[in-house]
Structure 1
Amino acid sequence: MTDDWLRHNRENWDDRVGVHAASEFYDLPGFRAGADHLRPFEPEELGEVAGRSLLHLQCHMGQDTLSWARRGAAVTGLDFSAEAVATARALAADIGLADRARFVVSDVYEAATALAGERFDIVYTGLGALVWLPDLPRWARVAASLLAPGGVLYLVEFHPFTELLGDDGTSVERDYFDREGQVYDFPYTYTGGPALTKTKQVQWHHTLGDIVTALAGAGLRVERLAEHATTMWPRFPVLERVSAREYRYPAGRPRVPLMFSIRATATA
């Protein structure tokens, strides 16, 4: 495992931004025209956000962040990729939300320093974020420190069980309890081509128990843990599309959880 994981991951994500911004997967023209980027269950689980301050950790190009802003939240997005933050700021301006959305360049572990001790009503983190972090308890402590008293942490992630499945989505091929960092050198991102130039990346597998325990250890009270039978993209060829941004196993076939969400509150 490389000691330069942060540098490799930042370079890799900087390189992805141009590819993602031009992709059909992110569909920035559709988003500018009003398309929502949240999963259908998210607004229901989190509740009313109008008039509340919301911090989105590891926000990438800001579409989820700005989807909450469209619902009335005063949002701050934080990401370690300066390229992603520049795209998010431009997107906010394009859709007329620059006055209600700011974006900050920072590694998530340094978020409290980057935000000068500011506290938020809601700390939100979205899909595909946690696998890039080696120290989950540290992440949870940072997230908890950014919450105002009584504030809510809302986390939505791909279910860690999906990391065990082979490419066909029907067979278990990996060890659920293998937490060692894995170095990958792959020329493409999940949206397809063109090829990247910064191809090395480092990821970690965290079990569902690891995640819940980290939040509890940071002093947060877990109120809800929901496992979802849908995901946002056709990760496995067996999945079928059921809406614009939802895919699931076909009816009549055994299912596994594809995403999960956690709502937790600050107790002090």
Structure 2
Amino acid sequence: MTEDWLRLNRENWDDRARVHADSDFYDLPGFRAGACTLREFETAEVGDVSGRSLLHLQCHMGQDTLSWARRGAAVTGVDFSEPAIRTARGLAEDIGAPARFVASDVYAVPEALGGERFDIVYTGIGALVWLPDLTRWARVVADALVDGGFLYLAEFHPMTDVLGEDGRSVAEGYFDGGGEVSDYPRTYTDGRELTRTVTVEWRHPLGDVVTALAGAGLRVEFLHEHPFTLFQRYPGLRRDGNGVYRFPPDRPQVPLMYSLRARQRNVRPSPR
């Protein structure tokens, strides 16, 4: 079944996109009214995007993409789900944001965008688990960047899949995460049950992410491991004043998310 991962995951996310568009979790009316979906640490680490071209890989319904557009970036969002892309295009029209959204899986991006290059490639927040081959992904990222451009990745830390439901015990092997097939009737938001319920996911150790990027010629400028996450993954987590979830200070802290920036360092020859 894992060899059919792309079809299974696309069908599942097509189904999810329809549920997500009507969910309170994604709150599209609130977004249309001006809400920003980017996290504070992301905007601080990426910096000023005014006038810069930004490619968002695995953009889902485009709220993060359009949040960068509201901050002045010229944005292109890519996702393999046609229903998600239709929603993203509708959102862009509703808020009057100049944005382009393209339906494509990550590995086909070079062909889908005709080899176009960008100042920034942005991705993350639950994206990498849907990709089986990080080496190939990193090459796509590197080829999409102008010389001196950078990737910004914000992701859930792979340690979160190792801990048990209590957040204290070790329940899974850190290196055991290849092609896991799951069958769940619901998505992570409110809404109806899904009709396409089978997915295939991969857990990527942090070292594999960094190694793939280095192998593609990118220079990692920082790797930050964060003791917070975006939802109450474990019962011991508490929401703080910034809206993120942390373990109380009296218990051992573990990384729950990470972020990194990696810059294109290859100098391509000028066209003759």
TM-score, normalised relative to structure 2? 0.95
Could you say which residue in structure 2 is the equivalent of 1:255? 253
Match of 1:172, SS? coil
1:8 aligned to 2:8? yes
Cα distance in structure 2, aligned partners of 1:151 and 1:132: 25
Deviation string 1:203-226 (CA, Å, 9 cap, x unpaired) is: 001000000000000000000000
1:203 counterpart residue number: 201
Contact 2:25-2:190 at 8 Å conserved across structures? no
Runs of 4+ in 1 over 2 A off after TM superposition: none
Partner of 1:56: 56
Find the partner of 2:106 among 105, 108, 116: 108
Which of 127, 133, 137 is the matching residue for 1:139?
137
How big is each residue's C-alpha offset from its partner over 1:202-251, in whole Å with a ceiling of 9 and x where there is no partner? 00010000000000000000000001111111122221111464111123
**8 Å Cα contact 2:20-2:191 kept in structure 1:** no
Residue 80 of structure 2 is aligned to residue 80 of structure 1 = yes
DSSP 3-state at the match of 1:56 = strand
CA contact (8 A) 2:65 2:77 kept: yes
**Offset at 1:14?**
0.2
Aligned AA (1:67): S
Task: Identify which of 176, 179, 182 aligns with 2:180.
Answer: 182
Secondary structure in structure 2 of the residue aligned to 1:3:
helix
Number of residues of Structure 1 aligned to a counterpart in Structure 2: 266
Once the two structures are overlaid, the 10-residue window that deviates more, 54-63 or 15-24, is: 15-24
C-alpha contact 2:24 2:190 (8 A) present in aligned 1: no
Q: Could you list the runs of 5+ residues in structure 1 that have no partner in the other structure?
A: none
Cα distance in 1 for partners of 2:194, 2:38 equals 27
- Quote the residue 1:30 is aligned against: 30
Matching residue's letter, 1:180 = G
- 1:65 alignment partner AA: T
Contact kept? 1:233, 1:245, Cα under 8 Å = no
Does 1:91 find its partner at 2:130? no
Aligned equivalents of 1:80, 1:245: Cα separation in 2: 30
Percent of residue pairs identical: 67
TM-score normalized by the length of structure 1: 0.96
Any stretches of 5+ residues in structure 2 without a counterpart? 267-272
Letter in 1 for 2:70: R
**Residues in 2 aligned to 1:25 and 1:165: alpha-carbon distance in whole angstroms:** 25
Query: Counterpart of 1:168?
Result: 166
* Range with bigger deviation, 230-239 or 112-121: 230-239
* Superposition RMSD in Å: 1.1
**Counterpart AA for 2:203:** H
User: Partners of 1:252 and 1:21 in 2: how far apart?
Assistant: 39
Question: Does 2:123 align with 1:125?
Answer: yes
> What SS is found at the alignment partner of 1:238?
coil
* Pair 1:61–1:243, CA change in 2 (3 A): farther
- Matching residue's letter, 2:118: F
Determine the C-alpha separation between the residues in 2 that align with 1:21 and 1:51.
Answer: 29
Q: Distance in 2 between matches of 1:166 and 1:61?
A: 31
